[in-house]
Amino acid sequence: MGSNDRTVGSLGEFRLIDLIAARLPQGEQVLIGPGDDAAVLRAGDGRVVATTDVLAEGKHFRRAWSSAYDVGRKAAAQSLADVAAMGARPTALLIGLVLPAELPADWPLELADGLRDECARVGASVVGGDLVRDERITIAVAAFGDLGGHDPVTRHGARPGDAVAVAGRLGWSAAGLALLERGTAHRTPAADAVIGAHCRPRPPYDLALCAADAGATALIDVSDGLLQDLGHIATASGVAIDLESTALLPDPELLEVAASVGAEPMSWVLTGGEDHAFAACLPGPDIPVGWRRVGRVTQGADVTVDGREFSGTGGFDHFRTL
């Protein structure tokens, strides 16, 4: 049987686990990695930041749109970004895989490559996980991080007078999804760029840590849309946030794609999910390099744009339609 003919079922659970583990080098923070009942990590700070995410086939990715490598990068990125949004340096991932037996064996191996390469951006490692058979692919990711002696940056610390700033791209993933759902045959560089951003986001991890070092009072991963995620900060901190539309003008790529599909690009910027940019509230006049000021924290409640409530949907919510 050639390598292209192998399926997950033909390899068996333990052979597949061995093949995946062989693609995942371990970092210096790993004392015991894959191959035992559990991993053992160094925790020099004495505190461990932990988070989890789930990707479901058909909801968060489609094999027709994304390669297994893309899915691996995306699965790692969304959890690593949550760790960085706490002001912690990501150290390790645990991966739970649910796979069909007839799935080509190269698929989970390419997924592992994507996980490995995204982890390499922050020096993290995949240290273990679990493998289960079912009819549809599901990927569960648990991520861990080290605060390095610093206090965590939560959603609760924003204060009136703070600047609101953003690092990373906004609206690109939503634009890419719109194109993929439309099935546009004519591809331009702008179209390829936003589709790539949807299939393989690139969170600016280092900029999140820079904001934490600069004294950010609140910090969040923009995964469900800027308005909705800033709303979490406003609610947790008991403040209002007002954004300036002139500081959030859509990038030229978004303008081009929006014109081609008849969409409103500003809606993508304000409510589009899965970009994994970061939003922070920062005291004082200075904004760290790589961040841009987009608004301010005030007395009150809720999030507004130019002093007014945004009329569109606030962001992504798995259960809004139920």
Phi and psi for 120 in degrees, rounded to 5?
A: -65, -25
3-state secondary structure of 207: helix
> 261 near 194, Cβ under 8 Å?
no
Q: Write down the CATH superfamily of domain 3-146.
A: PurM-like, N-terminal domain (3.30.1330.10)
Tell me the domain boundaries of the chain.
Answer: 3-146, 163-305
CATH 3.90.650.10 fits 163-305, yes or no: yes
Minimal CA–CA distance to 214: which of 150, 133, 121, 155?
A: 150
Q: What per-residue confidence (pLDDT) applies to 4?
A: 59
Q: What per-residue confidence (pLDDT) applies to 285?
A: 85
270-309 residue pLDDT tens: 999 999 999 999 998 889 999 999 999 999 999 999 999 9
Q: What is the reported pTM?
A: 0.91
Minimal CA–CA distance to 280: which of 269, 270, 294?
A: 294
Q: What per-residue confidence (pLDDT) applies to 185?
A: 63
- Rounded distance between C-alpha atoms, residue 107 and residue 122, angstroms: 24
DSSP assignment of 136-186: S-EEEEEEEEE-TTSPP--SS---TT-EEEEES-SSHHHHHHHHHHHT---
Q: Report residues of the chain scoring pLDDT below 70.
A: 1-4, 184-185, 312-322
Q: What per-residue confidence (pLDDT) applies to 2?
A: 43
Minimal CA–CA distance to 63: which of 180, 186, 197, 203?
A: 180
- Rounded distance between C-alpha atoms, residue 78 and residue 74, angstroms: 6
- Rounded distance between C-alpha atoms, residue 194 and residue 182, angstroms: 14
Minimal CA–CA distance to 299: which of 162, 196, 204?
A: 162
Pairing of the two strands 89-99 and 125-133: parallel
Q: What per-residue confidence (pLDDT) applies to 317?
A: 43
Pairing of the two strands 240-243 and 302-305: parallel
